[in-house]
Amino acid sequence: MRRCLAVLVIVLCSALAQGTAWARDRDELVIGVTQFPSTFHPSIDAMMAKSYILATTRRPFTTYDANWELVCLLCTTLPSLENGMAQLETTPDGKQGIAVTYAIQPQATWGDGTPVTTRDVLFTWEVGRHPETGVSNLELYRTIWKIEVKDDKTFTMHFDKLSFDYAGINDFLLLPAHLEESRFRASPRDYRNRTMFDAEPTNKGLHFGPYTITEVVAGSHVVLELNPTWWGKKPFFRRIVVRAIENTAALEANLLSGAIDMIAGEAGLALDQALAFEKRNGRDYRVLYKPSLVYEHMDVNLDNPVLADVRVRQALLYGLNRDALSSRLFEGRQPVAHGFVNPLDWVHAKDLPTYPFDPDRARALLDEAGWTDIRRGIRHNAGGEPLTVEIMTTAGNRTRELVEQVVQSDWRRIGVDARIRNQPARVLFGETVTRRSFPGTVMFAWMSAPENVPRTTLHSSHIPSPENSFSGQNYTGFRNAEADDLIERMETELDRDRRFEMWQRLQHIYADELPALPLYFRSDSYILPKWLEGLEPTGHQYPTTLWVENWRAAP
């Protein structure tokens, strides 16, 4: 009788889910993600959930498309030396620079009807280069020594160095001067806490993409509706709702119940969950897998005296069976990472030193580092301090929590007491990681573009601190003079072969020093309704929603 009742409940739930999907207007799309943004300001705090949502409401001047080619979105023509829109010049202090000219889409208009103009460009530059605002990519704004305005829609950026990717200003994300200027001028240091992007996120004047934000319920969902001032192709969907469901099991349940239509690949289910889901529900959904430039790792706080010893960091990596983790959790589809550059990227180094699972080697390194006194299975130093390492990640992410348990178990076998303490994503990335207040390690992923120079994550000038208003993304506190020099030189090296050599050396330094513990390279998993067409995974940090106007429901 119980088995029959269970079957009946399953049938009724399935029917209810289908009924919910059928009842909802086909021009409405509900998307599930695992994070809620800590801020809606485009340049403060790097967080994929925010990028995913804002890509529907605004567009960068340039970005990489699904073919990994640099393209214009807000600009009209991609500048180059060949077409004359980029020109070599000498800076006032005698350095080799370059002047790059961009034209804004003529019809680009903020949602309140105010034209997008060079006034917004100048204001965005002013905010970005101010040392107290705490933008994520401060270096981009620093390298622009002058912006010359030609007219309301045309401007020239003068860079103080010639870089190989001079045409790409992907992170120069426009701010509406007519709304934000007074808030910024009142107090640049407090601007991040006073911005209208958080005080009034539904103000139409903040958005100039195909959609505007019309409702925000913190920690729950964001409602997006058509922007009547959008200049481009009219989107198919009248309304999009992005729901944040931080527990991935609940996220899957919401999909099956019909409460959401799809799960975003950029911030959704991990590969192991997607594989299991497809086995159970593949007939009813379309599951796309996209190997991507996503690097799952554990940042190490190098200011922690215990973890500052490279022998301890190496021991932690030798003591972790990453091959078994990849095989058992991901069916081998997410390869073990030996550095921060994905093998899909042309600059990847194939000859890096590796750290295969070797508990004996790990134990020897810990002995050498002075952790020789073992009490009840946990190592202690000569001062009687236990070898304790805290692990943090996003609470509710089932895969990361499972990986944490594997790490905890493996490290226990070499005498390390691993303590797990997780936080909601908006807290972890909004405060803990940004302010470097994690005491041990923190597990998360970096998404990058092709040949993305890791200035903000590895250069010593980008260590967040109160002095720089916590700008930069070098959360580990990594300081290496040679790495700094390589980053400086590779950015300005136009010769592809010489740049490749620099990339090789930088990856070797990373593999030797281990400012972070590499885990694996991820594949994004998109779980879509079979009726959704036009979504094309990119495989890099720029989300599919940058082309949301191409999405549609099949007839």
Paired strand residues for 374: 379
Both structure tokens of 516: 């972070």
| pLDDT, averaged across the chain | 92
Q: Give the Cα separation of 463 and 468 in Å (integer).
A: 9
- Whether residue 264 has pLDDT greater than 70: yes
Q: What is the pLDDT of residue 221?
A: 97
- pTM for this structure? 0.79
Tens-digit pLDDT profile for residues 70-124: 999 999 999 999 999 999 999 999 999 999 999 999 999 999 999 999 999 999 9
CA distances from 109 to 59, 153, 414, 463, 514 (A): 12, 11, 60, 36, 46
Q: Give the Cα separation of 519 and 298 in Å (integer).
A: 7
The bridge status of strand 70-72 relative to strand 86-90 is: unpaired
Distance of alpha carbon 219 from the chain centroid: 19
Q: What is the pLDDT of residue 437?
A: 95
Tens-digit pLDDT profile for residues 178-227: 999 999 999 999 999 999 999 999 999 999 999 999 999 999 999 999 99
Would the CA dihedral through 3, 6, 11, 14 be positive or negative?
negative
Q: What is the pLDDT of residue 154?
A: 98
Site of tokens 């509900």: 30
Q: What Rg do the C-alpha atoms of the chain give, in angstroms?
A: 24
Q: Give the Cα separation of 489 and 494 in Å (integer).
A: 10
Domain ranges, ordered by start, for the chain:
23-57+193-291+523-553, 62-180, 293-522
430 secondary structure, DSSP code = I
Both structure tokens of 460: 């010593």
Evaluate whether 493 touches 499 at the Cβ level (below 8 Å). Answer: yes
Q: What is the pLDDT of residue 330?
A: 87
Paired strand residues for 297: 444, 518
Give the 3-state secondary structure of residue 463.
coil
Q: What is the pLDDT of residue 482?
A: 98
Paired strand residues for 87: 99
Q: What percent of the chain has pLDDT over 70?
A: 95
- Whether residue 240 has pLDDT greater than 60: yes
Evaluate whether 138 touches 188 at the Cβ level (below 8 Å). Answer: no
- The CATH homologous superfamily for domain 293-522 is Dipeptide-binding Protein; Domain 3 (3.10.105.10)
Burial of 336 (0-12, 13-18, 19+ CB in 10 A): buried
Q: What is the dihedral of CA 436, 439, 444, 448, to 10 degrees?
A: 40
Q: Give the Cα separation of 134 and 471 in Å (integer).
A: 4
- Whether residue 21 has pLDDT greater than 60: no
- Whether residue 137 has pLDDT greater than 60: yes
Evaluate whether 403 touches 431 at the Cβ level (below 8 Å). Answer: no
The bridge status of strand 441-447 relative to strand 388-392 is: parallel
Residue 497 CB contacts under 8 Å (≥ 6 apart), including other chains? none
Q: Which residue has the higher pLDDT, 311 or 330?
A: 311
386 secondary structure, DSSP code = B
Q: Which CATH number fits domain 62-180: 3.90.76.10, 3.90.45.10, 3.40.47.10, 3.40.50.11740?
A: 3.90.76.10
- The CATH homologous superfamily for domain 23-57+193-291+523-553 is Periplasmic binding protein-like II (3.40.190.10)
- Whether residue 522 has pLDDT greater than 80: yes
CA distances from 256 to 17, 18, 267, 493, 529 (A): 6, 9, 18, 51, 11
pLDDT tier for residue 5 given thresholds of 50, 70 and 90: very low
Tens-digit pLDDT profile for residues 447-461: 888 899 999 999 999
Q: Give the Cα separation of 72 and 301 in Å (integer).
A: 38
Q: What is the pLDDT of residue 2?
A: 34
Buried b or exposed e, range 179-190, using 16+ CB within 10 angstroms: bbbebbeeebee
Average the pLDDT over 404-429 and give the result.
95
Distance of alpha carbon 188 from the chain centroid: 25
